[in-house]
A and B are shown apart, each in its own frame.
Chain A
Amino acid sequence: MNPRLPNSFRSGPDERGHFGNFGGRFVAETLMPLILDLEKAYAVAKADPAFHAEMNGYLKDYVGRPSPLYLAERLTEHLGGAKIYLKREELNHTGSHKVNNVLGQIMVARRMGKKRIIAETGAGQHGVATATLCARFGLECVVYMGAVDVARQAPNVFRMEMLGAKVVPVQSGTRTLKDAMNEALRDWVTNVHNTFYCIGTVAGPHPYPMMVRDFQSVIGEETRKQMQEAEGRLPDSLIACIGGGSNAMGLFHPFLDDPSVEIFGVEAAGHGLTQLHAASIAGGRPGVLHGNRTYLLMDDDGQIQDAHSISAGLDYPGIGPEHSWLHETGRVTYLSATDDEALAAFMLLSRLEGIPPALESAHAIAKVAELAPKRSKDHLMVVNLSGRGDKDIPQITEILKGRKQ
Chain B
Amino acid sequence: MTTRIDARFADLAKEGRSALVTFLMAGDPDPATSLNIIKALPKAGADIIEIGMPFTDPMADGPSIQAAGLRALKGGMTLRKTLEMVRGFRKEDDSTPLVLMGYYNPIYIYGVDKFLTDAKVAGVDGLIIVDLPPEEDDELCIPALKAGLNFIRLATPTTDDKRLPAVLANTSGFVYYVSITGITGAAAADSKAVGDAVARIKRHTKLPVCVGFGIRTPQAARAIAEKANGAVVGTALVDALRDSLDTQGRATTKTVAAVADLVGSLAQGVRGAKQAAE
CB neighbours of A296 from chain B (8 A) = 105
Residue contact B109 to A302, C-beta cutoff 8 Å = yes
> Closest approach, in angstroms, between the C-beta of A41 and any C-beta of chain B?
16
Residue contact B156 to A29, C-beta cutoff 8 Å = yes
> Closest approach, in angstroms, between the C-beta of A119 and any C-beta of chain B?
16
Q: Name the residue on A nearest B106 (C-beta).
A: A302
Residue contact B109 to A172, C-beta cutoff 8 Å = no
Residue contact B181 to A192, C-beta cutoff 8 Å = yes
Residue contact B108 to A24, C-beta cutoff 8 Å = no
Asked if A185 meets B59 with Cβ closer than 8 Å, knowing A30-B178, A301-B79, A301-B109, the reply is yes
A395 to B104, CA, bound (A): 37
Interface readout for A163-207 with B: 1 if CB under 8 Å, 0 if not?
000000000110000110010011001111100000000000000
Interface readout for A273-312 with B: 1 if CB under 8 Å, 0 if not?
0000000000000011111000010101111100000000
A25 to B131, CA, bound (A): 8
Query: Interface extent on B, as a size class?
Result: 35 or more
Q: Which of A32, A172, A185 contacts B66 (CB 8 A)?
A: A172
Interface readout for A21-38 with B: 1 if CB under 8 Å, 0 if not?
000111111111110000
> Closest approach, in angstroms, between the C-beta of A201 and any C-beta of chain B?
16
B44 at the interface (CB under 8 A from A): no
Residue contact A302 to B107, C-beta cutoff 8 Å = yes
Residue total for A at the interface (Cβ-Cβ under 8 A): 36
A205 to B189, CA, bound (A): 28
CB neighbours of B165 from chain A (8 A) = none
Asked if A190 meets B135 with Cβ closer than 8 Å, knowing A302-B79, A304-B57, the reply is no
Asked if A289 meets B105 with Cβ closer than 8 Å, knowing A28-B60, A185-B59, the reply is yes
CB neighbours of B110 from chain A (8 A) = 301-302
Q: Name the residue on A nearest B183 (C-beta).
A: A186
CB neighbours of A303 from chain B (8 A) = 54-56, 73, 106
A302 to B109, CA, bound (A): 5
Asked if A33 meets B160 with Cβ closer than 8 Å, knowing A172-B63, A300-B109, A301-B79, the reply is yes
B-contacting residues of A (Cβ < 8 Å)?
16, 24-34, 172-173, 178-179, 182, 185-186, 189-193, 287-291, 296, 298, 300-304
In the A-B complex, the 3 residue pairs with the closest CB atoms: A302-B109, A302-B106, A190-B182
